[in-house]
Amino acid sequence: MDLGLKIEDKPFPQNITVNLGGRLSIWDRPKIMGVINLTPDSFYEGSRTSANSDLFKEKIGIMILEGVDILDLGGYSTRPGASEISINEEIDRVIPAIEWISKEFPETTISIDTFRSKVAKEAICSGAHIVNDISASELDPEMMATVGDLGVPYIAMHMRENPQTMQHHTSYDNIIQDILYYFSEKLEDCKKFGINDVIIDIGFGFAKTVDQNFYLLKNLQHFKTLDKPLLVGVSRKSMIYKTLGVAADEALNGSTALHMYSLCQGANLLRVHDVKEAKETIELYKKLYP
């Protein structure tokens, strides 16, 4: 219905093309990445499962029905102080899951959440389409060369040190400028290794205090200057539940509120535990900015 009103442009129009296994995907709206943690110790208990279990299959089916765009599978918990596991154990956790999804839901886009190049290669060869690296190759110097050879999109996140020690490294001269400089160098490295599709994740909760997380979210638009899609991963994180004085399993409402704010600040991809609520948030955002 035409009400004779002028519709304002979106604050940050979506117009992105990503190569997914030789298939061009046009991102003309924000996308939803659903979190699947194939771990026993991830920070949010509701996201934990194991490959080929009934719970795993149920979670995948529900997320797909709810409209998830990308399934992000990880076999290594990256919460602060998480335990170290071997490369082989990580592979054993994620590969059966990727193979099952690829067989049962062949049209579904899969991301492998790992900082290890060997795991990334095994995952892509088993049916995954995207590599999501929390360390942007800092923890495995072979990662970018591997991703370049595989020819897949790369999600590069900002973090300092490793998951066991990162929260001891939250001092910055100027946090926005420091992270922008970090990514400017990483994007140059990606170019050298022939990585064409790069997605930026500024790493909420990784080597950042609660106040720093909110400051970065408030200033998310600064990272649009990198001219790359922005992933925002704040779902049920401590910046929410510590601020509200609740537990992670009570942080859905807070997550939804910050997801809408993230979209209005230019987020292209929301990494979430709750697909239905994120999908509804995007639908409302689209009514505000058609």
Task: Give me the residue spans of the domains in the chain.
Answer: 29-288
Across residues 245-267, what is the average pLDDT? Answer: 96
Question: Which are the catalytic amino acids?
Answer: 237, 271
- 17-26, 55-64, 163-172: which has the highest mean pLDDT? 55-64
| In contact, 11 and 220? CB cutoff 8 Å | no
Single-letter amino acid code for the residue at 190: C
Return the higher-pLDDT residue of 145 and 162: 145
Distance (Å, whole) CA 156 – CA 133: 6
Distance (Å, whole) CA 190 – CA 143: 10
* DSSP three-state, residue 129: coil
Find the DSSP H helices in 34-192: 54-65, 87-104, 117-126, 143-150, 175-192
Three-state SS for 233-267 is CCCCCHHHHHHHCCCHHHCHHHHHHHHHHHHHCCC
Single-letter amino acid code for the residue at 21: G
pLDDT band at 227 (very low <50, low <70, confident <90, very high): very high
* DSSP three-state, residue 179: helix
DSSP string, 183-200: HHHHHHHHHHTT---EEE
pLDDT per position as a tens digit, 86-145: 999 999 999 999 999 999 999 999 999 999 999 999 999 999 999 999 999 999 999 999
Does the predicted TM-score (pTM) go above 0.75? yes
| In contact, 85 and 76? CB cutoff 8 Å | yes
Residue 215 has pLDDT above 80, yes or no: yes
Neighbouring C-beta atoms of residue 44, cutoff 10 Å: 18
Nearest to 153 by CA among 171, 168, 132: 132
CATH superfamily ID and name for 29-288: Dihydropteroate synthase-like (3.20.20.20)
Q: For residue 134, what are its two tokens? A: 């929390």
Q: What is the mean pLDDT of the chain?
A: 90
Look at residue 44 in the predicted model and tell me its pLDDT.
47
Look at residue 165 in the predicted model and tell me its pLDDT.
76
Distance (Å, whole) CA 204 – CA 80: 12
Nearest to 256 by CA among 268, 273, 231: 273
pLDDT per position as a tens digit, 2-38: 544 444 556 666 678 888 878 888 888 999 999 999 8
